Amino acid sequence: MAAKNINPYLVDARNVWIGRRDTPLCAVAEMVSGNKPIDDGNYLFTPDEKAAFLLKEPKAAPYFRRWLGGEEFINNIERWCLFLSECPPEVIRSMPEVLKRVDAVTRISHAY
């Protein structure tokens, strides 16, 4: 069935503008910086950097996730993040190359 009208919210409905809000609709934490890496590049990898890192630290493979920020989305750039929030501390300590990255980010985070 063809849409009668596709509005700015990309649905078949009349044109309604909800408008700008400076406050959330419900009780949630304030968003300060959005999707902003503050790791000084220690957790972000190009495909080549990821491959080289995994040669040194193959146990880190399950902890890589695809990273998609605005630049990556708009320019179709493949980037990877070493995502350690679900990695047990004892596993992190068993991976020297990962531990170097964690230590570097820890030093940076103390500057903020």
Within a domain: residue 31?
A: no
| Segments forming the whole domain that contains residue 66 | 44-109
**Quick one: pLDDT band at residue 19, thresholds 50, 70, 90?**
confident
Do the Cβ atoms of 7 and 13 come closer than 8 Å? Answer: yes
**Quick one: pLDDT band at residue 104, thresholds 50, 70, 90?**
very high
Do the Cβ atoms of 108 and 100 come closer than 8 Å? Answer: no
Within a domain: residue 54?
A: yes
pLDDT, tens digit (0-9, with 9 covering 90-100), for 30-70: 777 777 778 888 999 999 999 999 999 999 999 999 998 88
Do the Cβ atoms of 6 and 12 come closer than 8 Å? Answer: yes
Share of the chain above pLDDT 90, in %: 56
Task: Count how many domains the chain has.
Answer: 1
| Structure tokens, 109 | 């985070």
The H-or-E segment that residue 40 falls in is none
